[in-house]
Amino acid sequence: MHIIGLIAGIAIIAGILLDAFETVVLPRRVTRTHRLTAWFYRYTWLPWARAARRIQSPARREAVLGYFGPSSLILLLMLWAFGLIFGFALLQYGAGEHLQLSNEPVNFGVLLYHSGETFFTLGYGDITPVSGVARALAVFEAGMGFGFLGVVIGYLPTIYSAFSRREIEISLLDARAGSPPTAAELLTRFGNCPQQTVLDEILRDWEHWAAQVLESHLSYPVLSYFRSQHNNQSWLGALTTILDASALLMAGVDGIRDEQARLTFAMARHAVVDLAQVMRARYDSHAEDRLPPAELNRLRTALGEEDLRLKDGVEAEEKLTNLRSLYEPYAIALARRLFINLPPWIHTEKKKDNWQGGPWDRLIQARGLERIQRMDEHF
């Protein structure tokens, strides 16, 4: 009996089962630092992202970054499976006795193969466990293989269901706050509605969305790596836009009450702070100011053109600054960690929403001009 093999096998299997339980089953944040999943994402994401940053084309760069989330799921499941197979091979090597049909010696490589075929329930029968311990281990490993298959079948649909719920609201934000979304666009489009309930309902929907993102991304942190379906959209960009708009309303906009904005801000701030801790984002004291005085003046002017007057004065500016300090450092740190571009407070130039563009637009417009010219020539 090989005691070292037994101890190593038990440690590997127990570690992988605990890691899988915390990643797939446990619906809360795990603060323990020494985890296989945490190690896996720490040493795979940064090299992947740094390699993608060398790509000049923004569209191709986002496409490459978008492959990481789904690919990492498959690689992590493969890592778990190989670890369990290796661990059971160590247990069989340490405690089991086996016979091979060809009467060749049974070494560790043969036991690793036997563990693999047992885990995936192939059952070729070319290697037979002889002792009671070896048979018990084989049965237990085969049952664990079925359980692993069940985890794969249940885990992937759950991840993609949560991703789908997240992306629906992000797509809806396109027509409400632009592409990429900004607080200025959201307020200019809905801040001057005759009934404030329109803006409040939008903020209420995003309060619920922020709560859903917090719950799903705490339970399944891998969702943070899943990129949105358009290059100029992201879950972090949408969350930051809602925080920006809520902060402006709380700082003071004449004629608009801030009750719902306070609730939305609280929930969205909770989400961005907790997720920054989950993703182990680091505070950057030298981060660029997202709203320097010149941009704030331009924002005031743009809102003023839509009959939305931001409160001015030292007190109002200090309040806005304090509100921004509650969430911007976390959002910026998350953006650096995930290589996501945060949206500005206001666009430097007018941009089309995603729904306003299409691959045939130029052809359709050119054809329309030709028809008009033919009609002019006819008359």
Taking only the tens place, the pLDDT of each residue in 13-35 is 999 988 888 888 777 777 666 78
Q: Is residue 195 domain-shared with residue 139, that is, in the same domain?
A: no
Q: Is 225 exposed, middle or buried (0-12, 13-18, 19+ CB in 10 A)?
A: buried
d(CA 115, CA 98): 12
Q: Is residue 187 domain-shared with residue 144, that is, in the same domain?
A: no
Q: Is residue 44 domain-shared with residue 116, that is, in the same domain?
A: yes
pLDDT band for 338, please (50, 70, 90 cuts).
Answer: very high
pTM confidence score: 0.86
Q: Do residues 302 and 184 lie in contact, with contact meaning Cβ atoms separated by under 8 Å?
A: yes
* Residue 158 within any structural domain of the chain: no
For the segment 104-130, what is each residue's pLDDT rounded down to a tens digit?
A: 777 888 888 888 888 888 777 777 788
- Check pLDDT > 80 for residue 170: yes
* Residue 379 within any structural domain of the chain: no
Q: Which domain-ending residue is among 125, 153, 181?
A: 153
- Check pLDDT > 60 for residue 41: yes
pLDDT band for 3, please (50, 70, 90 cuts).
Answer: confident
In the chain, the number of structural domains is 2
* 155, HSE (Cβ side, Cα atoms, 13 Å): 24
Q: Do residues 117 and 87 lie in contact, with contact meaning Cβ atoms separated by under 8 Å?
A: no
- Check pLDDT > 90 for residue 348: no
* Residue 166 within any structural domain of the chain: no
What integer pLDDT is reported at residue 374 of this predicted model?
61
* Residue 43 within any structural domain of the chain: yes
Q: Is residue 295 domain-shared with residue 244, that is, in the same domain?
A: yes
What integer pLDDT is reported at residue 38 of this predicted model?
85
Q: DSSP string of 54-89?
A: T-S-HHHHHHHHHHHHHHHHHHHHHHHHHHHHHHHH
- The residue-averaged pLDDT of 74-86 equals 92
Domain of residue 62, CATH code:
1.10.287.70
d(CA 63, CA 229): 10
Instruction: Report the Cα 88 to chain-centroid distance in Å.
Output: 34
CA–CA–CA angle 334, 234, 29 (5° rounding):
45
- Check pLDDT > 60 for residue 142: yes
Q: Is residue 192 domain-shared with residue 296, that is, in the same domain?
A: yes
Judge if the upstream peptide bond of residue 157 is cis by omega within 30 degrees of 0.
no
Q: Is residue 181 domain-shared with residue 328, that is, in the same domain?
A: yes
d(CA 197, CA 289): 32
Q: Is residue 268 domain-shared with residue 329, that is, in the same domain?
A: yes
- 208: β partners: none
* Residue 163 within any structural domain of the chain: no
- 128: β partners: 99
* 276, HSE (Cβ side, Cα atoms, 13 Å): 24
* Residue 226 within any structural domain of the chain: yes
Q: Which domain-ending residue is among 121, 153, 185?
A: 153
- Mean predicted lDDT score pLDDT of the chain: 86
- The residue-averaged pLDDT of 199-218 equals 94
- Check pLDDT > 80 for residue 89: yes
What integer pLDDT is reported at residue 369 of this predicted model?
56
* Residue 185 within any structural domain of the chain: yes
**Domain housing 40:** 3-153
- 129: β partners: 98
Q: Is residue 274 domain-shared with residue 188, that is, in the same domain?
A: yes
* Residue 167 within any structural domain of the chain: no
d(CA 176, CA 188): 10
Q: Is residue 133 domain-shared with residue 221, that is, in the same domain?
A: no
Q: Is residue 191 domain-shared with residue 71, that is, in the same domain?
A: no
For the segment 241-282, what is each residue's pLDDT rounded down to a tens digit?
A: 999 999 999 998 888 899 999 999 999 999 999 999 989 899
d(CA 323, CA 307): 23
Q: Is residue 56 domain-shared with residue 103, that is, in the same domain?
A: yes
Q: Parallel, antiparallel, or unpaired: how do β-strands 127-129 and 98-100 relate? A: antiparallel
Q: Is residue 262 domain-shared with residue 334, that is, in the same domain?
A: yes
